[in-house]
Chain A
Amino acid sequence: MALRAVEHIFTGATAPYTNYDSTKTTVGDLIKQYTGVGVKDKYAGPVRVGRDDGLTAFYGLARPNETATAVPGMYPHVVTWANKHGYYSTGTVAVSGTAVTGSGTSWLLDGVPIGARIGFGSTDAANITTWHTILAIPSATSLTLQISAGTIASGTAFVIDKNYEIDWVFLADNAAAAATRRITLFEYNRNDSIFTWKGFITQTYPVATTHTIVGMRAVYANYITGTVGVATATVTGSGTTWNADRINIGSRIGFGSTDPTQIATWYYINATGSDTSITIQTTITASGTGGVAANINIAGGTPYVIEDLRILTSTVNATVTNGGLFVSAGMAYGDFTTNGTTIAAATTVDRVKACYWLADAAVVTNDAASGLALDDRDSWTQQFCYVIERQSPTTPAIYRYNFRVALGTITAGRTTAAFSLATGVQTVTGNVSQTNNGRVGTLNHGPGSGVKSLYFATTNRIYRVAISAITSASTTFVSDIMVEIPTGGTSTFNASAVLTSVEIADQIDRLIVTGTGGGGVTTTNRAFVTQYNTSSTPFDLPFLIDHRQLDQSSASNDSCPTPSPQGAILTVWSAAGLTYIVRSGTTSLTNQMYAIPLGADWDFAGGSVKQRLITPSLGTADATKLKRVTVSAESQLGGPTLALPTEPYRVYYRTAGISDDSGSWTLVSDTGDLSAAAASTAVQFMFEFRTIGTFCLPARIFSVSCLYEDTTTDSHYQPSVANSNITTSIFAWRFSTAFGGTVPTLRVRLYNAVTGGLLLDDVSSTPLLGVWEKSTNDGSSWGAYNTTDLSGSATYIRYTPTSLGSGIKVRALLTQN
């Protein structure tokens, strides 16, 4: 056998797990393959965090207090705006400049987004060398490219790489309390891990005393009911109920598709006439009116989409009865500008672009709000949110509001129509947190399994309240309680008693628990991922550590940003496996946002969304023995003096069931030893990653190699002519390379060199057809064979068959068994 190797470098085509293809690299949706100019820019792994190798770019990092208009941010809330994966290659195309004409195509129906890439000449993405970005999708058979692709004849194959993943990340203003509050929008691209600051709005509250935001949610929904036609600026609906469904002035509307990612030109609603009539303008304005009237014509029956975006904030106020719940209605993506758009306080008119005060009473009693939690939308006129009222630190009540209801009588921007009910107070253990406290969700484990519940934090407990238990005046709404016991128990980490928030990590069915980051040696300053339990079982996993590194832009170019508390409160939102963590300080020193793929952690990699990296099938033709897998990976990120280690990863292999993904996987030890593997014509490797770690810097895999022995002489031996003898049929080999331990069982096969027929097959452990011998003095003398490893250059082995026919040309093959 000769020692051979097969290598895979992480370049080339990928396929999502749902479209497994053994010829491509398979990735979960939080696993990416990256490319770039440098050798170390080509790697695969979980959504990247930290820095690039050239120390020129940051990944998964935003600095809200260092944008052109510095707005210290906190309380992230995320809208997953685009979440497209996979490829589309049905039909053929012709190209003329930027115009692509399809035949047999249906890219609108398939969900191809604007911003996706198209390549021509093949249906296989691996064969595409030049990609073109799609600028618009006018119809199922026409595309517009951003840049001319020249002229391509009709009937040409094509492939569209649909990967396009954009999150809108909203942050609440954490600057000194003021009569107005700003809401910031960052866009996060999951494919390149880059945050882009879009801008901010300034909400003018209907009460001008100073507000401090204690809870924030950006509520986004697409209205696609019915179809429309447009004549100049008037949109006429068929099957639409815009008034009844309370569509707001200011919302943006697009035509030709119900998918916002396919809309190239947006318009803005500036008047809501009836259920079937609205008017639109082409420009976005702060008031929602007064823009340039649209002048377009679109045939009736056209699909459309209205993006309904509202900003909910709960505040406490310098004048306590001026706090409570507020909603800015009629918001649109374009309102978030670098100079800021100022949203007016509402007056008496419903459904305009303004900030409304959803008071619970004429004199507000929800005056010590502690956060905000959002329930699912039941209809366009009903969606509840919950505001925990902290009447004293240990006596919360819960207020419920329907923020989609008709607002009825509005006086100076204030209405009580949205108030639904309030519970009584119930005493809890620990002080109720007032930092974005409260999260509605349904866990699939533990006492709250399958029960939609409100989870909230006190300083040393996590409470669960079944939504059904939130009833008027109830004083027994708490369903059950989880006690703060850090991972490993309180003899390993002190319980902090400074918990501040609990968030549901959606893809992994776990809670994320964070604290203030404050405190001295008695507190852990760590965060936790855990199941919800009421059995005083410790939290499952700790992550992060307070390393006190400053991640402001003026930090050393060698440093690698990574989340840590630094004495500031960490506020968190999790969406589709990605966790947005904001260090909620008020200065550039302590106000950063990170995007961490906690959902890709190896503990959950085999869940419903398989977060794994799988190589293509790697050929091992003629392999007789798999020997070892070696992985080339980034071990640390940052410059030499301040680099931080990446988190570990696991490697699995399989040699069967590769083509149809049916084979089971075997974990490889850290030695990379594959000696237990059954050799086959191919091998495949799979990686799982730790992402819930100390620094949360996921590993980056450059390449993987498999060493194996093939059907030529074993690499540890060399045929010896001097010690072989044709006459006496002795076959000898020099022991040339040590095994590093006990010599494994050897196997000798004698073939008829002319016909290829096998004459003899025997092994060293239990020889049946001949005699194995060993010499340690260059063949001067021979003794009994043993499995002692090589100790010098004079070691030989030989095999003498008991009988072998004469007159045969023999080829001897020595391999491991």
Chain B
Amino acid sequence: MVPIKKGQKVPESNILFVVAENGEYADTDLILCGEEGGEASGMYSAQYIQYGPMVYQFNLPEELGAAIVAIDKDSTHDAAILYQEDEARKISRQKGTLLPENGVPAPDALVPEAVDESKRVERRKAKPIQEEQIKAPVLEEVPLPIENPPLEQTPSALEPMESTEVPLTPETQRGARAIDVSATTQE
């Protein structure tokens, strides 16, 4: 989520400001912007208004998350949360408080302590969202991307590459969810 304020300056513009209402918006929600006193002339993603063009300079959410946390450690942007969760997991592993995923503990291993998930939840709850803010319309026809969470689709550069041994032609059927071409071409 990204907090947006009416009148907030649009990055890389001398004359554009947010004309939408204050609110806590989803990262990719489109926010109406325009010249001061003028009509709305463009819409930008909430994350872009908050963090600028760097949000489009990364392919992996972990990388974007790291960049956002570097300038806003309290960010509730999805990528920032993902990154901080990942970092917390790494630290826990280093401290021996969290087993590697799918790991088999040695017979003499210490019983790991439970990860304190409440802190993460606390951080998410740090900025309560008002109902009216959630409902504040940016665009009526903008559906929430719940069908296709982008972070889950993003390939990890750390994963080993495999050749595509089966002929692939990306297919999308009418009424069916689109298949990501990038996924079909990835090795």
Contacts and interface: CB of A to CB of B under 8 A. Distances in A.
Interface of A: 69-72, 74, 174-180, 182, 202, 204, 206-210, 212-214, 285-287, 289-291, 316-320, 322-323, 339-342, 344-349, 352, 354, 367-368, 390-393, 412-414, 431, 433-435, 459, 496-498, 500, 515-520, 523, 548, 566-569, 584-587, 589-590
Given A286-B13, A287-B13, A587-B157, A320 B43 contact: no
A715 to B, nearest CB: 59
B39 A349 contact: yes
B169 A498 contact: yes
28 contacts: A176-B180, A180-B48, A182-B56, A204-B30, A207-B139, A212-B178, A287-B13, A289-B35, A290-B16, A316-B172, A318-B178, A341-B53, A342-B48, A344-B42, A345-B42, A346-B43, A347-B41, A349-B41, A367-B174, A368-B178, A390-B171, A434-B171, A516-B169, A519-B166, A566-B187, A567-B187, A568-B187, A585-B185
B180 A518 contact: no
B124 to A, nearest CB: 21
A339 B53 contact: yes
A651 to B, nearest CB: 41
Nearest to B154: A176
A276 B167 CA distance: 56
Contacts of B153: 176-177, 210
A418 to B, nearest CB: 18
A390 B57 CA distance: 32
A318 B148 contact: yes
Given A210-B148, A323-B178, A413 B143 contact: no
Given A318-B147, A393-B173, A585 B39 contact: no
B185 A586 contact: yes
Interface string B6-23: 000011111110000000
A179 B13 contact: no
Given A340-B56, A344-B44, A435-B170, 13 more contacts: A72-B182, A174-B182, A178-B28, A179-B28, A289-B35, A318-B148, A322-B141, A342-B11, A344-B33, A347-B41, A566-B187, A568-B185, A590-B185
The 9 closest A-B CB pairs, nearest first, are A344-B42, A316-B178, A318-B148, A290-B15, A498-B167, A179-B28, A345-B43, A519-B167, A202-B56
Contacts of B102: none
A207 B173 contact: no
Contacts, number: 250
Q: Is the interface of A mostly helix, strand, loop or mixed?
A: loop
A17 to B, nearest CB: 40
A321 B180 CA distance: 16
Contacts of B43: 204, 206, 344-347, 412-413
Given A204-B48, A342-B53, A585 B59 contact: no
Given A519-B166, A520-B165, A434 B187 contact: no
A349 B174 CA distance: 31
A585 B48 CA distance: 27
Interface residues of B, number: 66
B106 interface: no
A368 B150 contact: no
Contacts of A323: 178
A204 B41 contact: no
B89 to A, nearest CB: 22
Contacts of B176: 320
B150 A72 contact: no
A206 B170 contact: no
Nearest to A175: B59
Contacts of B34: 347
Interface centre among A178, A339, A392 (most CB of B within 10 A): A178
A210 B182 CA distance: 13
B181 interface: yes
B20 to A, nearest CB: 11
A210 B34 CA distance: 24
Contacts of B184: 569
A345 B30 CA distance: 8
A289 B153 CA distance: 36
B62 interface: no
A567 B184 CA distance: 10
B148 A368 contact: no
Contacts of B68: none
B100 interface: no
B80 interface: no
A317 B57 contact: no
Given A176-B59, A339-B57, A434 B181 contact: yes
Contacts of B187: 566-568, 585, 587, 589-590
Given A176-B153, A344-B33, A589-B187, A204 B44 contact: yes
A569 to B, nearest CB: 5
Interface of B: 10-16, 26, 28-30, 32-35, 39-45, 48, 53, 56-57, 59, 139-143, 145, 147-148, 150, 153-155, 157, 161, 163-187
A176 B156 CA distance: 10
A414 B43 CA distance: 12
B175 A348 contact: no
B174 A392 contact: yes
A589 B34 CA distance: 42
B166 A319 contact: no
Contact of B181 (A202, A212, A413): A212
Contact of A204 (B45, B164, B167): B45
Nearest to A343: B42
Nearest to B145: A209
B79 to A, nearest CB: 11
A287 B15 contact: yes
Nearest to A209: B145
B4 to A, nearest CB: 14
Given A347-B42, A587-B187, A566 B178 contact: no
Contact of B44 (A70, A285, A345, A590): A345
Nearest to A249: B41
Contacts of B148: 177, 209-210, 318
Contact of B143 (A209, A291, A431, A500): A209
Given A286-B13, A287-B41, A590 B139 contact: no
A182 B45 CA distance: 14
Contact of A590 (B165, B168, B169, B186): B186
A290 B10 CA distance: 12
A342 B179 CA distance: 25
A283 B53 CA distance: 19
Nearest to A436: B181
Contacts of B141: 207, 322, 412, 414
B13 A319 contact: no
Contacts of B154: 176
B145 A179 contact: yes
Contact of B59 (A72, A287, A459, A520): A72
Interface centre among B15, B164, B169 (most CB of A within 10 A): B169
Contacts of B168: 498, 516, 518, 569
A663 B140 CA distance: 74
Interface centre among A179, A431, A519, A585 (most CB of B within 10 A): A179
B40 A348 contact: yes
Interface centre among B34, B173, B187 (most CB of A within 10 A): B187
A210 B150 contact: yes
Contact of B169 (A434, A566, A567, A584): A434
B40 A208 contact: no
Contact of B173 (A179, A346, A368, A414): A368
Contacts of B155: 176, 586-587
A226 to B, nearest CB: 28
Contacts of A175: 59, 182
A518 B11 CA distance: 43
B45 to A, nearest CB: 6
A72 B185 CA distance: 11
Given A208-B29, A516-B168, A178 B150 contact: yes
Contacts of A435: 169-170, 181
B125 to A, nearest CB: 25
